[in-house]
Structure 1
């Protein structure tokens, strides 16, 4: 009997296994771990008729018992598309697909809005979901936020989520490269700066993965303010490409912001550019991309404006946490690279006491370092990358204090003390690093920071 093998018991893997089983597939899950948490997940899946093998490393020997019968192998975003074991399986004629591709199989009959970009995609996903939902549409968000893609498809299948009018899907480069069949009705590309190069190898490969999603989309919405994306403006042969720009003087742009701060479609004034209550030029770009998608979805300018004005913000992305000792505190745990952290530094009031650190990534730190010099009175570093960041800062003329601690709590307490002494305006957690040295993901890091702040506010 043929079977599908799902690799990993993470959220994506469990969702994919359950969705495939619901569609009648014979499913086997292979998981490297064999601890209590893995055993609990395995038991839950086995109760649904899904076989689970624990303690299975990602190597060819783990697949050998089924090599003649494997229909496909489904991987989670955390597994490199170029992993040697996957290459060996391909050589044997095995199809490798990502969890996003399985969701597309089940949900592709509904119109998708696929949102990608180095930075900004989470904000655009949340904001577009909110605007469409406030207008009365069923527009669940999934991918890197909300449901996993397979969980959403399963929820729609069993009726716990109503049939979507639009599927709002945040898509990372990892998810895109493992799901080449995904072709959204609308594709949105927010930004492109070097990221995940330790996984993809070169900026050119990373860019081509992102661009591939937009080229497969019926309508591509592009951020004309992004230098990298805009540089390729003359290279697009896509029949439906629309550009947005916050620059009033921008040419060949479908949506822009006028000199007197109105969102405009050509010469048509739609609503005030102050409709979105979020700071920063990057959020105006996000607003324009959301507006362009919402107009395509059939919303009126008045409905879009109403949704923008009622948007509560995105957890972990410049999330305001109130004040401590007259210092405004912000949770920007979502800033997992230098470019995202630079946006955070630009967006809060200086002088800033900055908390940064975690698992460092490859990338150009120059803009971030310049903003540290210009806007920070102190930097407190934590986690595995603290020494690497300290060395980077030491190579600049930064005259503020720099301290290092192992964990976030000690860093916060020292940061609060410095913020009081220096009469800083803002205390900002904006790590510029991934979280995996100490946390399961950036949400867990941000949740921990929020709980630490709330405890000190209550004291």
Structure 2
């Protein structure tokens, strides 16, 4: 029997291993770590008939014992596609594929809506799934958030999840790169700004990966308000372009837009009022339009779309309103893991704002965020390993507000609770502008911790 090795025991790796086992494949899971928690997971997998090899780094030597019958290696998105060991395996004739590629083979009979972009994709994924589900369709979401694609495939195959009408899948550049056959029925590109350059090497390489997904999509939807996408527009022969800035963003006609009266409309008719979606910020008007364009392509009526948008509760960790503290609105924007996302979140606030930021810094242009901090933030409280670097950026930019530094988020929240009252702030915003991996396993864990820390300070409802 041929064997497949799955590398890593993260969410994607576990999903891939279980999907392969469900398909009666001989599967072994490699995990470089070895601790009590991993041993417990390994024990559970063993009871399911899945072998696990702990303490196995991603080196050619780790594969030697398992080479007999090995025909494929499956990786999760955390592993670079061009890792030297993967290059060696390919040269030896062994197939290397991403978890998303494996899931695509299992789920391609169901139409996919693939959502990518630097920022906005999580909100669009949640919002679109909600609109489709609220209109009576089965449209579970997954991929880069929530359930991994392989986990979703397992649930559908087992009957635990009813057969979907559509799959709403958030796709990161890492996942697209390792799944070059994924071809959605509808593709959505939200934004493009420099991100993950440590992994992809250049903005051009990063852009090309995302572009490939849209080129393989039967129906391609674009945000005409994004400067990078707008520059690409002439290179696209097909596609639907949406704009929150009016009928002719940058002189090019939009296919779906919000007019001066705040109405969503297309070239033939007015659809509904944009304020049916109660989420702050111009970026959410763009998200609304992309979701509307996709829902129309699916076949929903404007009335169904508007009714569903009006009941959307919001996205956890993305400008998530937690309550008030001394009268100031408190928002959890832990999903803002880069400068551009943090700038978007801050622009959605009414100043003055106490801002919590920090974590593991990324390459990128912080100038836009710094300018917005200058005009909106009365206090900037920095935490984590990137605090010093961010403080130096703020000082170099001439940030005029209060600037505080600490190591832990708990201390930052305590400082913020005092600063809100001292500054008479209208909002307290956790919007880190950094990855979470210095202190947390992911941005969700960081957001959950913030929610728990700030809870005792919130005003009684």
TM, length-normalised to structure 1: 0.98
Residue 2 of structure 1 deviates from its aligned partner by: 1.4
Q: CA RMSD in A?
A: 1.1
1:335 corresponding residue in structure 2? 336
Q: Does 1:196 align with 2:196?
A: yes
Give structure 1 regions of 4+ aligned residues with deviation exceeding 4 angstroms: none
Q: Distance in 2 between matches of 1:37 and 1:109?
A: 36
Q: Distance in 2 between matches of 1:167 and 1:249?
A: 30
**2:361–2:433 CA contact under 8 A, matched in 1:** yes
Residue 274 of structure 1 deviates from its aligned partner by: 1.0
**1:256–1:266 CA contact under 8 A, matched in 2:** no
* Equivalence map 1:218-367=2 (5 Å): 218-237=218-237, 240-250=238-248, 251-367=252-368
Secondary structure (helix, strand or coil) at the match of 2:82 reads coil
Q: Does 1:74 align with 2:71?
A: no
Residue 298 of structure 1 deviates from its aligned partner by: 0.9
**2:143–2:169 CA contact under 8 A, matched in 1:** yes
Residue 261 of structure 1 deviates from its aligned partner by: 1.3
2:35 corresponding residue in structure 1? 35
**2:325–2:459 CA contact under 8 A, matched in 1:** no
Unaligned runs of at least 5 residues, structure 1: none
Residue 260 of structure 1 deviates from its aligned partner by: 1.3
Q: Deviations over 1:261-310 (max 9, x none)?
A: 11112131010111111111110000000000001111100000001000
Residue 398 of structure 1 deviates from its aligned partner by: 1.4
Q: Distance in 1 between matches of 2:19 and 2:68?
A: 23
* Equivalence map 1:432-443=2 (5 Å): 432-443=433-444
Unaligned runs of at least 5 residues, structure 2: none
**1:75–1:96 CA contact under 8 A, matched in 2:** yes
Secondary structure (helix, strand or coil) at the match of 1:66 reads coil
Q: Distance in 2 between matches of 1:27 and 1:124?
A: 35
Q: Distance in 2 between matches of 1:373 and 1:175?
A: 36
Secondary structure (helix, strand or coil) at the match of 2:65 reads helix
Q: Distance in 1 between matches of 2:200 and 2:361?
A: 16
Q: Distance in 1 between matches of 2:459 and 2:221?
A: 45
Q: Distance in 2 between matches of 1:246 and 1:457?
A: 34
2:137 corresponding residue in structure 1? 137
Residue 62 of structure 1 deviates from its aligned partner by: 0.5
Residue 376 of structure 1 deviates from its aligned partner by: 0.8
Q: Distance in 2 between matches of 1:458 and 1:403?
A: 24
Q: Distance in 2 between matches of 1:370 and 1:67?
A: 55
Q: Deviations over 1:141-189 (max 9, x none)?
A: 0012221110000000000100010000000001100000100000000
The number of equivalent residue pairs is 457
TM, length-normalised to structure 2: 0.98
1:444 corresponding residue in structure 2? 445
Residue 68 of structure 1 deviates from its aligned partner by: 4.7
Q: Distance in 1 between matches of 2:293 and 2:20?
A: 35
